Amino acid sequence: MTRRGRFAPTPSGLLHIGNAFTALSAWLQMRQAGGEFVLRVEDIDTARSRADLAERQLEDLQWLGIDWDEGPRKGGAYAPYEQSGRMPLYEAALDRLSQNGRIYPCYCSRSDLARVASAPHGLSSEGGAYPGLCRELSEEERREKAALKPPATRFMMAQRPVTFSDGWAGEVTFADDAVSDFVVKRADGMYSYQLAVTVDDAAMGITDVLRGADLLDSTPRQLALYEALGLTAPSFTHVPLLVDANGERLSKRDHSITLSSLRDSGMTPEQLVGVLACAAGWIDRPTPLAPADLIPHFRPINEEGARDRFTLTDSLWRLLLSAT
């Protein structure tokens, strides 16, 4: 079976060099394996996503030298490649979960959950572990609460540890917060990242998911969804995040260098690829290279002695700053 990987950016900001590193890694994994590479736009959050930013991201990826076999501007057998056009698939998945008794309405507000939480914990992007307040409500109690506010839809986890093998981290086990019930559809009708990414990866035949280590703790939830939906899960590889010389991760929310700013400054894509490859340890000096030049040098798994993070040293950072 042909291996299939993907890169799936959210068009809520310009791509920065951390995003570029993840895209390059996912692309190299598939090109090294002789597989297919898919680009998908994760614009399910319509309040934060912008069409103009999606176009800028595509331009930045093409400038960098990242091509895709399927996706926006190219099409393919699994179109559309924008999540905003795939809503019926998510609703069908919810119907299946409902038939299997794996979801339930949740009427808790953020303030309700804050009152029962003794300290911040759980997945940072989704709040703390859910205490199960609405899991065992009677039908009468649900009717009473529904008269006051529309519910979110929450997925019922099995409440047991989840162990899986990660291409970088090795065997990983998650318990407690990471295996608590979680929202798959918000009260305002927006589908969750966890549901959408699971449905899309399965529908598009993705066999290999390579992404940043910040998403490692989402994997137990997605594996539970794969199982509940009767779908085959891909293999997962969570590569270390690219950090600056102070060990701080790069983010759209700070002033990290964007690909657009580097393009406008006159930096060549080969120069940037060389910096990223040197930070990852794939080459020993920041020699300008095209992405295809790195295919034989890419290391898709955590080999003995490999780094637990990829650092832009002061010298590499100065190379980038000199271009801007």
Question: Is 144 marked as binding a ligand?
Answer: no
pLDDT at 311 over 90: no
Question: Is 90 marked as binding a ligand?
Answer: no
Of residues 117 and 194, which shows the higher confidence score?
Answer: 194
The model's confidence at residue 111, banded by pLDDT at 50, 70 and 90, is: low
Point out the domain boundary residue: 196, 230, 257.
196
Active site residues: 252
Q: Are residues 94 and 188 in the same domain?
A: yes
Domain span including residue 153: 87-196
Question: Is 226 marked as binding a ligand?
Answer: no
pLDDT at 44: 93
Q: Are residues 188 and 93 in the same domain?
A: yes
pLDDT at 316: 83
Q: Are residues 42 and 104 in the same domain?
A: no
Question: Is 108 marked as binding a ligand?
Answer: yes
Of residues 170 and 117, which shows the higher confidence score?
Answer: 170
Domain count, the chain: 2
Contact 44, 196 (CB under 8 A): yes
pLDDT at 115: 47
- pLDDT > 70 fraction of the chain, expressed in percent and rounded: 88
Q: Are residues 72 and 98 in the same domain?
A: no
- pLDDT > 90 fraction of the chain, expressed in percent and rounded: 70
Point out the domain boundary residue: 142, 174, 196.
196
Q: What is the pTM of this model?
A: 0.90
Q: Are residues 121 and 148 in the same domain?
A: yes
The model's confidence at residue 140, banded by pLDDT at 50, 70 and 90, is: very high
User: Could you give the CA distance from residue 196 to residue 100 in angstroms, rounded to a whole number?
Assistant: 18
User: Could you give the CA distance from residue 294 to residue 274 in angstroms, rounded to a whole number?
Assistant: 9
Domain membership of residue 213 (yes or no) is: no
pLDDT at 79 over 50: yes
| Averaged pLDDT for residues 33-42 | 97
Domain harbouring 51, CATH code: 3.40.50.620
Point out the domain boundary residue: 180, 196, 212.
196
Take residue 239 and report the two structure tokens written for it. 């590569």
Take residue 34 and report the two structure tokens written for it. 């002789």
| Averaged pLDDT for residues 157-165 | 93
pLDDT at 302: 59
pLDDT at 116: 46
pLDDT at 123: 58
The model's confidence at residue 152, banded by pLDDT at 50, 70 and 90, is: very high
Question: Of 165, 174, 163, 209, which is closest to residue 302 (Cα–Cα)?
Answer: 165
Integer-rounded Cα radius of gyration of the chain: 21
pLDDT at 256: 67
Q: Are residues 59 and 97 in the same domain?
A: no
Question: Is 130 marked as binding a ligand?
Answer: yes
Domain harbouring 189, CATH code: 3.90.800.10
pLDDT digits (tens, 9 = 90+) for 191-217: 999 999 999 999 999 999 999 998 999
pLDDT at 323: 64
Mean pLDDT estimate for the chain: 88
| Averaged pLDDT for residues 236-259 | 76
User: Could you give the CA distance from residue 236 to residue 207 in angstroms, rounded to a whole number?
Assistant: 9
Question: Is 8 marked as binding a ligand?
Answer: yes
Question: Is 278 marked as binding a ligand?
Answer: no
The model's confidence at residue 169, banded by pLDDT at 50, 70 and 90, is: confident
Domain membership of residue 177 (yes or no) is: yes
Question: Is 9 marked as binding a ligand?
Answer: yes
Question: Is 86 marked as binding a ligand?
Answer: no
- Which of these ranges, 17-26, 122-131, 168-177, 229-238, has the smallest mean pLDDT? 122-131
pLDDT at 15 over 90: yes
Task: Kindly state the helix (H) or strand (E) to which residue 91 belongs, with its residue range.
Answer: helix 87-99
pLDDT at 122: 36
Domain membership of residue 226 (yes or no) is: no
Take residue 101 and report the two structure tokens written for it. 């008794």
Q: Are residues 114 and 46 in the same domain?
A: no
pLDDT at 251 over 80: no
Domain membership of residue 225 (yes or no) is: no
For the chain, count helices (H), then strands (E). Answer: 10, 11
User: Could you give the CA distance from residue 324 to residue 317 in angstroms, rounded to a whole number?
Assistant: 11
Q: Are residues 115 and 62 in the same domain?
A: no
Q: Are residues 78 and 108 in the same domain?
A: no
